[in-house]
Structure 1
Amino acid sequence: MKVICFGKIFGINGLKRAGYFLVVVLILVFLFQRNLAGRKKEHLLSPVGSSGFQNEERVDRLTMVLPTSTPSLTPTPTLSPEQVAEIKRKQFEELNQKYGPCRLVPILMYHHVMDVAAAKAIGASGLNVPPKIFQEQMDYLQQKGYQVVDLDEMLTGIKNNSLSKKAVVLTFDDGYRDFYENAYPVLKEKNFKATLFVISQYVGGERYVSWEQLREMMASGLVLLGDHTLNHPSLPSLSKEQEFNQIVS
């Protein structure tokens, strides 16, 4: 016979031991309360010296009465990298069976590529990759033989099963000018492609790319242009008509 208690399973013997322990604890608590009541009475009848010895004696008695052992906690098991990989593999298999054919394609998403101080000045440190780091990341992709494609090429490759196993996608949100100034030159140097999502009403504004710069980058064949709404509202807060206008217009 097994008994489930607090998420752990104890046999009958274990349950008996737990009961004995509980009885012992109750007896100790009773003795402590009786002793405390007696000390309180003594405290009311006799003065406490300036040295505070009476309080110290009470602390000593508390130390003697209360149990000192603490229960050990069972640590939460940590999954190994192999176990995590197996879980991900099974999840991918389920998606592939339901929606397949599917492919695992790394997509690196960026916002700003600018100096640390400049990003901090506009409150964008959490969305920024410094140019030096970006250069190192692109160098790594090149050295490891990755094929950098845009989103259209990725989708086409998945549909006709021609996508390289080392394909990777670069995307850049919002259409900031630092993409043109700091990221685009690196892409040209390495002949890497990227997908740039622009906020159409912000094009030409302060810190954003201009229409002329967009035409130049699109003509190079390296930059695919994507829509990032008219003015970047929170879509869930809009009506269906407003959402449609933001996405399609």
Structure 2
Amino acid sequence: MKPILKIALVDDEQEYLDGMGKLCNSFGRSAGYPVEAVPFCSAGDFLEAFSGGSFDLVFMDIYMEGMDGVAAALEMRKSDSGCLLVFLTSSTDFMPDAFSCHAFEYVTKPFSEKRIFDVLADAVKVLPQEQKYIELAADRKTVRVFLSDIASAATDAHYIMVTLADGRGLRCRMTMPEFMEKTGGDARFIPINKGIAVNAEFILEFKNGCCVMESGARFPVRVRDSARAEQMASDYHFEKIRSRQRHRRGE
């Protein structure tokens, strides 16, 4: 999966291109997503640069000189049915046509920062979550770590030992509640015992009171939490499959 959230901004008004670019980058900083927002001042310029999989999300103005946004979206859909599409417009007249392009959202101008942030927050929920990262302070420096690279986190005195998928460990001075807060409540991270959380992506099995990881690491699971932890892991994988199916259908 792409580590950067790539967003195309298509609008023939420079004011909106500049404003949307700032909002997308501001959202990325606040939500922990590296964002690359690429502006296009016409549908034609966008389509020349577009290919299947080149963008995760497209903000498309409907009323533009030359080719309008709906026509551009129909062309886009010929090569990419999964890219999330958000229409921007000053009128709702084109709404039926817009949603025939499998639009993810429809935003009326002028829009607020909150409106765009809400749309982006909804979008990242259905995009591959491997893109999200957190910042951790370890060895007297701050490092960015993708959530997809974190296999487990376990309390170690006044520290948290964060173990990455490649076996490396980061010893961070923080509490487990602080670590879980940094993940933003990401469903991948399942608390299995006091001071221990594991990434569902790396769980091999639950066996003999332990959570066995793909690396061979074993973590004890509290008896009273065992059924709940297994259910959380099952629910996570089920929802991930459903999200991918909806994304492929352009729903």
Q: Give the TM-score category using the shorter length.
A: under 0.3
Identify, as 1 or 2, the structure richer in helix: 1
Output the TM-score relative to the length of structure 2.
0.26
- Higher Cα radius of gyration: 1
Identify, as 1 or 2, the structure richer in strand: 2
